[in-house]
Amino acid sequence: MSSVPSPRTVRLGMDFGTTNTVVVLLDAQGRPHPVHFSFPHHAVSETCRTLLCLWQEEERVGRPVMHEAIGAAAIDAYLEDPAESRLIMSMKSYLAQASFRQTRLLGQVMTLEMLVARFLSCLMRTLQIDPATVTATVGRPVHFAGEGADDAFGEQRLRDGFLAAGFGEINVALEPEAAGWHFAQRLDAPATVLVGDFGGGTSDFSILRFDPAAPRRAEPLGHAGVGIAGDQFDYRIIDRVIAPALGRNSTYRVMGGQPLPVPAEWYASLGRWHRLALMRTPQTLRDMADVARTASEPEKLHAFMNIIDEQQGQALYRAVGAAKRELSTAGRTVLNYVHRDVHIHREITRAEFESWIAPDLQRFDDAVGMALERASLPASAIDRVFLTGGTSFVPAVRNLFDRRFGGDRVDTGNEFVSVAEELALMNG
């Protein structure tokens, strides 16, 4: 009688973020490989938006069955039937909030752990991985979001969500510890390190004491965060370049009255990926058509409507992101976006871009100062600075740290996957 071989253990690192989730797999030789997510009608990406859509469908016996979709597919599922589905965002933000125990969705009582588990189960099905075969190292922030956050409670709920999703083994590591893990492997003496982790929607600055001889390799000393990151820089470009081309400065009239500004909330949504996608509803498009009938620049509003209706948001953001990345290495670039009758061809200089993001840079600088204050350390006490995430490649961001700490103490990691990659390597 032959024995059935047990399935091979899958080792992975996961950066389960408020805005994006990143997964990195280790191969048999211990080499990391970022996972690529592919959803219908959307570009392949190394990140999956941390979104969950739930809806019910009747089975033959007449009993409703709950279904789910994640990432970009969650937006599509929600828009198919907004009245009968629920879109859940920012699950991680509530993990450490004891006041949020459960909610009622589509007639069912669901805990936050159940929602996290549904997202993770769907994530693993998308990757065609049985979670029972997985040994995962998952990141958690030094301090979870929210007033009065209970960090131990937040970590336990994170673990419980993974366990409810059927994961075989769960290890939890501090996200800044993971970001600086490679650096820590080279240490032969203790060092104080500031880790700047720039995500899609949030940026965290943590000061840790790495000691290669200590049982716990990293001791948190101070932390501060701010609710802006790479998406905010994209928004600044969209606000200054794209929105005017789509009618933001237009006016319209109601029953021949005085000119009124077009609704500002449309252009606020233009700068946020999920909010733009959620505008593709019959009511919103009818409202925009009504305004366009008496608008001073109706062609621009019609162009905006076409971008929404034909789901051109991803293409638009790719053009904006390409211009932003080009400005990391060049003094000027041209933002090109073409769709039907919309032709946006605008030169942007790095100096211009830096003037747009100046308020955001100040918030980063203030947060770094707060982290130092909470650690009761001067900047001179920081031995190394490690920056990770796409925003860290923006020269004005790098210069902020160079000025405060000295360029010889500042290193950068991979653009998107470095935290998840280091989590995976910690798992190896």
Q: Which of 96-100, 117-121, 159-163 has the lowest mean pLDDT?
A: 96-100
Q: What is the pLDDT of residue 62?
A: 67
Is the pTM value of this prediction over 0.75?
yes
What's the structural domain count of the chain? 1
Q: What is the pLDDT of residue 83?
A: 83
Higher pLDDT among residues 57 and 155, named by residue: 155
Q: 416 pLDDT band (50/70/90 cuts)?
A: low
48 domain-assigned: yes
Q: Rounded CA gap, 388 and 279, in Å?
A: 32
120 assigned to some structural domain = yes
State how far the Cα of 410 lies from the Cα of 193, in Å rounded to an integer: 10
* Residue in the structure block whose two tokens are 């790098």: 398
Whether 134 maps to a domain, the answer reads yes
Cα 189 to the center of its chain, rounded Å:
34
* Confidence band of 230 (pLDDT split at 50, 70, 90): confident
- 157 in any annotated domain: yes
Note whether residue 365 is domain-resident: no
Kindly report the CATH number assigned to the domain that includes residue 64.
3.30.420
CA 276, 199, 245 angle in degrees (round to 5)?
35
Residue 23 lies in a domain: yes
The SS3 call for residue 165 is coil
Does the structure show a pLDDT above 70 at 243? yes
Contact in structure between 69 and 39 (CB atoms under 8 Å): no
Asked whether residue 117 is assigned to any structural domain, the reply reads: yes
- d(CA 167, CA 128) in angstroms, rounded, equals 14
User: In 10 A of CB 261, how many CB atoms?
Assistant: 10
Residue 383 falls within a domain, yes or no? Answer: no
Looking at residue 7, what is its pLDDT? 61
- pLDDT tens-digit series, residues 270-294: 988 778 888 988 999 999 999 999 9
The whole domain housing 107 covers: 10-167
Task: Give buried/exposed letters for 274-311 (b at 16+ CB in 10 A, else e).
Answer: bebbbbbeeebeeebeebbebbebbebbbbbbebbeeb
